[in-house]
Structure 1
Amino acid sequence: MFSRIGAAVGAVVIAAGATWYLNPFQNQSGNDALLSQVPADTVYFFGTSGNHELAKLMQNYPVGMGTPSQQATMDSIEDMGADNPAIAFFFELFLKPSLSSTTAGELINKYGLAAGGPGVFYSHGIVPVMRAKLADALVFDQLVEAAAQKSTWTYTTETFEGLTLKRWQLSELDDETSFDFVIARDDNFATLTLLNKNDDPATVKERLGLSSPKNNLASSGAISAMREKYGFQPYMDGYIHFENLTKQLLDLNNSDLGRDMVRYLPADSVAKLESLNDEALKADILSIANAVPRWVFGYKKLEVKGNTMLMDFDAILEINNTVVTDELVKLRGHLPKHVLSVSNKLFSFGAAVDSSNLVLSLTNLWGAFVQADFKSDAFKQAQEQAKQGNPAMLGMFMGMVQGVKGAGLSVFDVELDAEFNPSKVDALFSVAAEQPSTTAEMAKMLPPLANLELPDDGTAVPVVLPMVPAELELKAAIKGKHIAVFIGDKASAEAEKLSNEALEANGLIATGFNYRKLSTVMDALPISVTGAQSCAAKQELREFMRQMQMDFMLNYDTGPNGLVMGLSGSVEALETAKLNVGGNYKIEYLNDDCEWEYTGMEVINSDGSGSYTEKDEKNSCELYNTKYTWEQQNTKLSFKFFDTKTRLTCDEELKVEKDQADRCYMLNVEDQSFQCLFSAGTEEAFIYRYNKI
């Protein structure tokens, strides 16, 4: 039962995620209407509404691609469905449409979703609910019916107050805790949720969106207040509410979530929660939840310029304790500006902390905890344990970095020679410090830098480091409040800008990647650098990079509202090569040295038939030939081989092999060639390259 319930909950989550991703809706009022159906004490909420230009871009944005290993994982899930109708149903309904679609617009149309309507995902008590606007209810019904028939998972149909309900029983036992997975729809909306046979009519009506909870998100104003406070645009936002969850878990008899747990969960699980009768401990737990009430997130910017989507997304862990937030803010250091944009580089990374405040702030945070007025024994014991250590002791180790505010690394370009040695590097590393000359002197305590002398006037001097080839002219200089170590023209220009860059508290950590540029250097990198485990894995990574036509910056910061993670960047719609698979091909195999070696000739006919032939080195006889039928589903090619004959030498007779089936996944597709990965997702994965002739 629990595997089916898990699959059903997972299905609702997947559907919600797909709606969140695919519905950049433009009907703001529709979203507000849905908010009235969401309980104010919901534990989580995700909402979508709109952006017309983004919806236009997404119509042609590729989906369902992924890497071959990811696609192979999806295929393995499909294989699991052979023995589990529920898994088969959820695969057919929620995963297969994306695998068989080429664009987001095509996928939206397959579901009958409205390109101008809202969607929400939230908890009603303990139960997840997903609701989305439909453009064509008949199309949606047909998709659901096709999934049911393919999976053979039967359902019952009923009408509840004008809504058509389809119910799938998740448990073979018809007991008090059994659930049904339910899809309900009228002409405008589809709702996915779970229902129990003991649910009262009022609960069912709320869960299906036929009535509004007395206290709901629309009347509470929580969403509008969140948007105003954090500058979120209404396109996509939401939260996870730790305080709501805690309150309801600690008061089972006076909350929807608590009543659902008593109603649905096994008695022994409920008894464990009810046994928590220590009022002092409850009070302490609630005080913690009140101090860290929510994790909120949303887009501050989401717009389209030409074929590019520009985004600015924030996620904030709220902290309602000024003592904590004030001390965290004091930790902020200076992130060099050169690491804060990655549009002209391969990647960047920066870390910043005000070393002058580090020990004092950590000590104050430690003191705030050990002096907190906790009531329960459990928290008092935690305080006693914390008293055994004191951050003030870190002071004796901070002398070497006193006055340091941050550091950053930017890599603009890298070129490698045939032996994978760097033949060209353009990179900048800098350290921000109040007294850079003093910091440079302290750095001389490190043996490789013992002879380094940096003039105060900003003149760059050569730097010789072990493991750095002499032909790479590494230089160092003091530029204003920064020590810069650099190589290359772009890095040199950025180093000069540091002379006028004042120190300011602007964050904690920043990292960025430009996948557009990284994909261009992938072929030149050795396997050890890419992290791939084989030559085939490297080619798959190259395909992943090619699909990621984007750059992004990830920033971690702290402020008066708590801890902030910011994601900004740009994404371009991927233009895939238009290759007609049918044709005559020269076939090459990628060997263990990552080199392509010729193996044979192949004919792929447009009528779904094909043949492959291998000859000996002298081209005097056939060593292997086979015929097959084939079909294509997006980037997956499936083969059924027959009439296969093979031999080791020309002197032997050809032997007939058993018929077999196989599949491969196309990657690195170009106008006249493609690669196909067999045994994807396994250590035995191998690649053939198909070159049209």
Structure 2
Amino acid sequence: MKKALVAAAVIAIGAGAYWATQHGTEQQPGHAALAYVPADTPVFSAQFTPFPLKDYIDSIPDAQKQYPQELQALMQDENEPRAKFFFGLFNRYMQGMKDGQTFVTTFGLPEDLTSYFYTLGALPVLKLDIANPEVFWALLDSIEAESGLNHEMRKLAQVDYRAYPLTEPGEEEQIDLVFAIDNGMLTITLATSFSDPALLETALGIKPVTNPISESGIIEDIFAKHGFLKDGVSYINHQELVKAITTQDGNQLAKQLTHLFTMVNDDPFVELRSEVCNRELNGIAANWPRTVMGYTEFAVKDKQTTMGFSTVIESNNQVIMGALSQIRGFLPAYTQDVKTSVFSMGLGVDVNQFVPAISKVWDDLLTPQYECAPLQQMQAQMQGQSPAMLGMFTGMANGVKGLSMSLMDYELSDATQQIELKGLDAIVTLSADDPATLFNMVKPFAPELANVQLPSDGSAIDLSAALGLPPALGVSAKMAVKGNHLTVYSGEKSQAIAEALAGETLASNGLVTMSADYGKMFKPMMTLMEMSGEPVPPEFESLKDYNMKLKVDMDVNAQGIVIDSWVQTHQ
């Protein structure tokens, strides 16, 4: 078993446990575990209030609980004990996902739990509530018996813990996977022969840190700045990461890396630790200090979960943020309604402002006279290019504010022994200052549109003949100018949307949006398969009830670059 696979398995198990525990309801952070989290941790995520794990799993569509076939095939050929141990854990995880009660019973977890994930420098620590420790230990015992990987019982102060070796016994340096349960909380971390022994004491909740996150104001600042629900919060501290690679002792991670590089007699960051690189890279990090994540909506009820969360790449660079705000274009109202469409997407870009805005960003990146060699190389590469060249491509789209589309409904048929599109309800929209003029400019480049005359009164024309759509297909395409919007649509729902667009005036209201209703997306395909009388392949059977709606938006605000996500799942 290669070390890389062992490391990947550790990450996968940790990530799975982390993502399974990131939800809850409102409460101020004040948990005792925060006394053991240093303020300079580069990565932090916490669920401050009990997340309804059992009910959440019951709300997940069965299609999301299917065992990855590729992984199953890989497991059958694996004989290395460490790999078999991690695969055994993953097996129990997938078996437990059958339903919420099975999951919590399998792992000895409570129905509602809190959790924490952070790093002590580079050392990862995962903590979560445990209800039945004896069940969890019995689970590990059974996996040990199957895999042949045995633990060693150890004790640190008053805490007993299990250590599973991740390295070969004869190797000079040792790494162990650690499991401990104390005061109703499970801790999963690593212990190494080359790290400070005090780190394990802190990870196990024995020795508090001298600069705890609970006294730093970091969490309170994130909630106040971004308005997240106080269910929980996550962040990546860019400034601490830059300190780690530009200093030898600027934070805990820097000290650990320095020690590690001394051991191997090789420092890959030696160039970045010069005085000029330290100063200049930390200056960049000050402009982009953190990526923060928090909840904007959360509810679990009647086997349905509705969750909204926001990710913000914080920025203090007013030039770049101003340029991105300048690019913002128009997104129609229909792209915001995930509940009525199958799939929607929209790109809001003010084409007239695109090149000037990108030029501002370019100039801002080239303005500092960097002395740090890697930054000088970056600038040298940028100087050989110019965003002004983009003007050649954007000139034809003068006045464009956005391009959007939505699939409202569709129907398939196999009447001719081949799958065909029987019905289509969809719309494509080009929003611009003068959409009719843009259409007339494009006509010479599309011979099939040469004879199409677009009415100026907003009435629709039939494009079916021009686009070569056969009558037997049962799909017609119509085009019309509705106010500032050139629309091409098919179907009654899309026609209603097109009519409503006439009342929507252009505004700078976003950058990118995308939404999908997976249930509606897969239903026609599954219906057709069932009607054909042929057996439905197992890999498609689970898609029949894939009840999940998803919406993702990217925009900018006063705090930085924002990615808002909304998801709803139900059985």
Tell me if TM exceeds 0.5.
Answer: yes
Matched, 1:328 2:324: yes
> What is the SS of the residue equivalent to 1:443?
helix
Asked if structure 1 preserves the Cα contact closer than 8 Å seen for 2:61 and 2:546, the reply is: no
Q: Distance in 2 between matches of 1:48 and 1:279?
A: 39
Point out the more displaced range, 265-274 or 490-499.
265-274
Partner of 1:550: 548
Which residue of the other structure, out of 546, 558, 570, is the alignment partner of 1:560?
Answer: 558
Query: 1:77 offset after TM fit, Å?
Result: 4.5
Asked if structure 1 preserves the Cα contact closer than 8 Å seen for 2:246 and 2:274, the reply is: no
Q: Which amino acid aligns with 1:563?
A: I
Matched, 1:569 2:567: yes
Q: Counterparts in 2 of 1:166-565, with a 5 A limit?
A: 166-173=162-169, 177-197=173-193, 199-264=195-260, 267-268=263-264, 270-274=266-270, 276-417=272-413, 418=415, 419-447=418-446, 448-463=448-463, 464-470=465-471, 472-523=475-526, 539-540=537-538, 542-565=540-563
> What is the SS of the residue equivalent to 2:564?
strand
> What is the SS of the residue equivalent to 2:118?
strand
Point out the more displaced range, 315-324 or 460-469.
460-469
Q: Distance in 2 between matches of 1:393 and 1:63?
A: 48
Partner of 2:75: 78
Call closer, same or farther: CA 1:47–1:546 in 2, change over 3 Å. Answer: farther
Asked if structure 1 preserves the Cα contact closer than 8 Å seen for 2:347 and 2:404, the reply is: yes
> 5+ unaligned residues in a row in structure 2: which ranges?
none
Query: 1:301 offset after TM fit, Å?
Result: 0.6
Q: Distance in 1 between matches of 2:537 and 2:262?
A: 50
Q: Which amino acid aligns with 2:455?
A: P
Query: 1:167 offset after TM fit, Å?
Result: 1.3
Asked if structure 2 preserves the Cα contact closer than 8 Å seen for 1:12 and 1:193, the reply is: no
Query: 1:177 offset after TM fit, Å?
Result: 3.0
Q: Distance in 1 between matches of 2:229 and 2:12?
A: 23
Q: Distance in 2 between matches of 1:30 and 1:74?
A: 39
1:16-42 per-position Cα deviation (integer Å, ceiling 9, x unaligned): 532432464569578732222211111
Q: Distance in 2 between matches of 1:508 and 1:485?
A: 22
Call closer, same or farther: CA 1:76–1:238 in 2, change over 3 Å. Answer: same
Call closer, same or farther: CA 1:228–1:469 in 2, change over 3 Å. Answer: farther
Call closer, same or farther: CA 1:369–1:121 in 2, change over 3 Å. Answer: same
> What is the SS of the residue equivalent to 2:540?
helix
> What is the SS of the residue equivalent to 1:252?
coil
Asked if structure 1 preserves the Cα contact closer than 8 Å seen for 2:244 and 2:250, the reply is: yes
Call closer, same or farther: CA 1:305–1:214 in 2, change over 3 Å. Answer: same
Query: 1:199 offset after TM fit, Å?
Result: 4.7
Q: Distance in 1 between matches of 2:354 and 2:57?
A: 49
Call closer, same or farther: CA 1:58–1:416 in 2, change over 3 Å. Answer: closer
Q: Which amino acid aligns with 2:466?
A: L
Asked if structure 1 preserves the Cα contact closer than 8 Å seen for 2:412 and 2:525, the reply is: no
Q: Distance in 2 between matches of 1:460 and 1:137?
A: 68
Q: Which amino acid aligns with 2:428?
A: F
Call closer, same or farther: CA 1:131–1:409 in 2, change over 3 Å. Answer: same
Call closer, same or farther: CA 1:45–1:288 in 2, change over 3 Å. Answer: same
Partner of 2:117: 121
Asked if structure 2 preserves the Cα contact closer than 8 Å seen for 1:128 and 1:194, the reply is: yes
Q: Distance in 1 between matches of 2:161 and 2:72?
A: 30
Call closer, same or farther: CA 1:318–1:544 in 2, change over 3 Å. Answer: farther
1:76-99 per-position Cα deviation (integer Å, ceiling 9, x unaligned): 353355x21112222223432332
Call closer, same or farther: CA 1:62–1:146 in 2, change over 3 Å. Answer: farther
Asked if structure 2 preserves the Cα contact closer than 8 Å seen for 1:23 and 1:55, the reply is: no
Q: Distance in 1 between matches of 2:449 and 2:510?
A: 29
Asked if structure 1 preserves the Cα contact closer than 8 Å seen for 2:21 and 2:47, the reply is: no
Cα RMSD after superposing both structures:
2.8
Partner of 1:91: 87
Q: Which amino acid aligns with 1:72?
A: Q
Q: Which has the larger radius of gyration?
A: 1
Q: Distance in 1 between matches of 2:68 and 2:237?
A: 34
Query: 1:522 offset after TM fit, Å?
Result: 1.4
Call closer, same or farther: CA 1:225–1:334 in 2, change over 3 Å. Answer: same
Asked if structure 1 preserves the Cα contact closer than 8 Å seen for 2:243 and 2:254, the reply is: no
Asked if structure 1 preserves the Cα contact closer than 8 Å seen for 2:26 and 2:229, the reply is: no
Q: Distance in 1 between matches of 2:26 and 2:355?
A: 51
Query: 1:269 offset after TM fit, Å?
Result: 6.0
Q: Distance in 1 between matches of 2:177 and 2:25?
A: 30
> What is the SS of the residue equivalent to 2:31?
helix
Call closer, same or farther: CA 1:51–1:254 in 2, change over 3 Å. Answer: closer
- Larger RCO, structure (CA 8 Å, separation 6 or more): 2
Asked if structure 2 preserves the Cα contact closer than 8 Å seen for 1:177 and 1:266, the reply is: no
1:5-60 per-position Cα deviation (integer Å, ceiling 9, x unaligned): x62574355235324324645695787322222111112122223366x5463263
Q: Distance in 1 between matches of 2:424 and 2:131?
A: 53
TM-score of the pair, normalised by structure 1? 0.75
Call closer, same or farther: CA 1:353–1:406 in 2, change over 3 Å. Answer: same
Q: Which amino acid aligns with 2:14?
A: A
Q: Distance in 2 between matches of 1:175 and 1:275?
A: 30
Asked if structure 1 preserves the Cα contact closer than 8 Å seen for 2:311 and 2:563, the reply is: yes
Matched, 1:136 2:132: yes
Point out the more displaced range, 332-341 or 267-276.
267-276
Q: Which amino acid aligns with 1:21?
A: A
Q: Distance in 1 between matches of 2:374 and 2:24?
A: 48
Asked if structure 2 preserves the Cα contact closer than 8 Å seen for 1:137 and 1:186, the reply is: no
Q: Counterparts in 2 of 1:53-72, with a 5 A limit?
A: 54-55=52-53, 57-58=55-56, 60-61=58-59, 66=64, 70-72=67-69
Call closer, same or farther: CA 1:458–1:305 in 2, change over 3 Å. Answer: farther
Call closer, same or farther: CA 1:561–1:449 in 2, change over 3 Å. Answer: farther
Query: 1:385 offset after TM fit, Å?
Result: 3.3
> What is the SS of the residue equivalent to 1:50?
strand
Q: Which amino acid aligns with 1:465?
A: A
Call closer, same or farther: CA 1:63–1:334 in 2, change over 3 Å. Answer: closer
Point out the more displaced range, 319-328 or 176-185.
176-185
Q: Distance in 2 between matches of 1:271 and 1:502?
A: 58
Call closer, same or farther: CA 1:503–1:511 in 2, change over 3 Å. Answer: same
Q: Distance in 1 between matches of 2:328 and 2:296?
A: 22
Q: Distance in 2 between matches of 1:285 and 1:221?
A: 25
> What is the SS of the residue equivalent to 2:550?
strand
Q: Distance in 1 between matches of 2:314 and 2:45?
A: 17
TM-score of the pair, normalised by structure 2? 0.90
Question: What count of residue pairs does the alignment treat as equivalent?
Answer: 560
Call closer, same or farther: CA 1:217–1:515 in 2, change over 3 Å. Answer: same
Q: Distance in 1 between matches of 2:218 and 2:121?
A: 18
Asked if structure 2 preserves the Cα contact closer than 8 Å seen for 1:30 and 1:118, the reply is: no
1:483-541 per-position Cα deviation (integer Å, ceiling 9, x unaligned): 11111111111111101111111222212111111121114779xxxxxxxx99x8455
Query: 1:477 offset after TM fit, Å?
Result: 1.2
